[in-house]
Amino acid sequence: MHEVGIMQNAILMAEQQARDSGASRVHTLRLRVGDMSGVVPDALEFAFETVAKGTLVEGACLVIERVAPACWCAACGEEFVCEDLNYDCPRCGAFSTELRRGTEMQLSSIEVS
C-alpha cells in the first residue's frame, strides 16, 4: 500500500525535472523496479492514474522496467541471476551473500515537451 506514496514521489520528481527543463508536459514516465524492492508494479500502475491527475504527468504513459535479482559470486568474479531465492552460483556452486541488483526503485527517465 506504500506504492501510492512512492508514485507520488515519482510524479513530484518528474514534474520538477520537467519544469526545470522548460517543459510543460510529461509524456512518458519510465521506472526501474527490482523484483526484491518490495514494491509491486501492478500496485504502482494502479496508483499512477489517480496520483497523476491534475499534474504535468496526467495522461502520460507509464513504463515499468523490472530488474531480476542478481548476486555476485566472489569466487568466479561474476554476477549471476538468482532465481527462486537460490543464492548458489550456477557456475561453481559457491554461496553468494551479496545481492547486487534487484532492489532498485528508480525514476530512470521521462519524456517531455
Partner 1 sequence: MCVECGCGLPGAPGEVRIHAGGKGHDHDHDHDHGHRHEHEHGHGAATAGETARTLTLQRSLLEKNERLAERNRGFFEAKRLLVLNVLSSPGSGKTTLIQKTAEAMRDRLRLGVIVGDLATENDADRLRSAGIPVVQITTGSVCHLEAEMVSRAMARLDLDALDVLIIENVGNLVCPASYDLGEHLRVVLMSVTEGEDKPLKYPTIFHTAQVALVTKTDLAQATGFDRETALANLHRVSHHAQVMELSSRTGAGMAEWCELLATERQKRFAPRAS
> Closest separation between CB of residue 111 and partner 1, Å?
5
Q: Rank residues 54 and 97 by Cβ distance to partner 1 and give the closer one.
A: 97
The residues, any chain, with a CB within 8 Å of residue 22's CB and separated by 6 or more, are none
Cβ atoms of residues 100 and 72 within 8 Å: yes
Does 97 bind partner 1 (CB under 8 A)? Our answer is: yes
Q: Which of 19, 38, 49, 90 binds partner 1 (CB under 8 A)?
A: 38
Helix/strand/coil for 27: strand
Residue whose C-alpha cell is 566472489: 74
Does 55 bind partner 1 (CB under 8 A)? Our answer is: no
> Closest separation between CB of residue 26 and partner 1, Å?
8
